[in-house]
């Protein structure tokens, strides 16, 4: 388990104890490459995968330390303190929404796939949470070398981008997630129309970010454990 530079991008790399079943690019939430994501990478590695978790946000000022602070502000139980931090939160996260950032993030991810291919890794999957779920969809649409995608509560791409996806997709959602679930029917219909192998699980009475056990307000152990088991089985099947 180590931090390194891969394809010009800083990543956290977690290796299995034995022979690797394949490579999983694990994309973090909007909070960046925090310790929680590194622990998730370690857990997938313990299941047999080589896991590469890139840091896509430090370059725009959201370092892991700042990400932890931003998440704490957003989840602050004291309403007055939470409201007082909203301007800082919006300003800190604004660069993520810039069109040029989306292009740069996909370029970083593609560079990682290039570097993995140069190392002899021919089968690569992508998995991500929230921000990372969105970019899991995006990378699958952009790079045909991706053989499987596992987005957790990510925003679906446009119909045009969905039509470019060539790999099977396993997606997870919480029912209580209005922005994401409001678009779910379109995404599902578009996947079907494009002939993509698309399996989606929507957990009843579960919120966005249910997988993150450091987010005490939204974490759901039963949903997390079920999604964990399904994602591992899916990755083993598609990377085989």
Percent of the chain with pLDDT over 90: 89
Record the pTM.
Answer: 0.95
Residue 107 tokens, joined:
């370029």
In the structure, what pLDDT confidence band is assigned to residue 83 with cuts at 50, 70 and 90? confident
Domain containing residue 197: CATH number: 3.40.50.1820
50-54 vs 9-14, strand pairing mode: antiparallel
Q: Specify the range with the lowest mean pLDDT, choosing from 64-73, 74-83, 141-150, 152-161.
A: 74-83
Instruction: Tell me the average pLDDT of the chain.
Output: 96
Per-residue model confidence (pLDDT) at position 211: 98
Q: Calculate the CA 77 to chain-centre distance.
A: 26
93: Cα separation from own chain's centroid: 17
Domain that holds residue 230: 2-59+100-239
* Res. 74 pLDDT band, cuts 50 70 90: confident
Establish if 77 belongs to a structural domain: no
Give 232's pLDDT tier (boundaries 50, 70, 90): very high
The partner residues of 152 in beta bridges, in order of sequence, read: 129, 172
pLDDT at 81 over 90: no
Q: Looking at the domain assignment, is residue 76 inside a domain?
A: no
Assigned domain for 117 exists: yes
55 located within any domain:
yes
Task: Assign 60 a pLDDT band (cuts: 50, 70, 90).
Answer: very high
Higher pLDDT, 79 or 225: 225
Whether residue 135 lies inside any domain: the answer is yes
Q: Is residue 90 part of a domain?
A: no
Query: Residue 160 falls within a domain, yes or no?
Result: yes
* Tally of structural domains, the chain: 1
Is-contact 187 156, C-beta < 8 A?
yes
User: Does some domain include residue 207?
Assistant: yes
């Amino acid at each position: 388990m180590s931090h390194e530079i891969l394809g010009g991008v800083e990543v956290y790399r977690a290796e299995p104890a034995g022979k690797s079943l394949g490579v999983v690019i694990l994309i973090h939430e909007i909070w960046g490459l925090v310790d929680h994501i590194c622990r998730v990478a370690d857990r997938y590695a313990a299941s047999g995968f080589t896991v590469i978790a890139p840091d896509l946000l430090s370059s725009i000022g959201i370092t892991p330390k700042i990400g932890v602070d931003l998440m704490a502000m957003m989840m602050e139980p004291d309403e007055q303190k939470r409201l007082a931090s909203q301007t800082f939160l919006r300003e800190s996260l604004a660069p993520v929404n810039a069109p040029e950032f989306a292009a740069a993030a996909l370029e970083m991810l593609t560079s990682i796939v290039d570097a993995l291919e140069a190392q002899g890794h021919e089968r690569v999957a992508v998995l991500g949470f929230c921000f990372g779920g969105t970019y899991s969809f995006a990378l699958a649409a952009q790079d045909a070398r991706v053989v499987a995608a596992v987005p957790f509560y990510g925003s679906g791409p446009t119909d045009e981008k969905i039509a470019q996806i060539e790999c099977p997709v396993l997606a997870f959602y919480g029912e209580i997630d209005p922005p994401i679930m409001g678009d779910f029917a379109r995404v599902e219909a578009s996947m079907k129309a494009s002939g993509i192998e698309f399996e989606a699980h929507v957990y009843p009475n579960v919120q966005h970010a249910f997988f993150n056990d450091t987010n005490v307000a939204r974490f759901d152990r039963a949903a997390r454990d079920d999604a964990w088991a399904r994602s591992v089985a899916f990755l083993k099947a598609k990377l085989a």
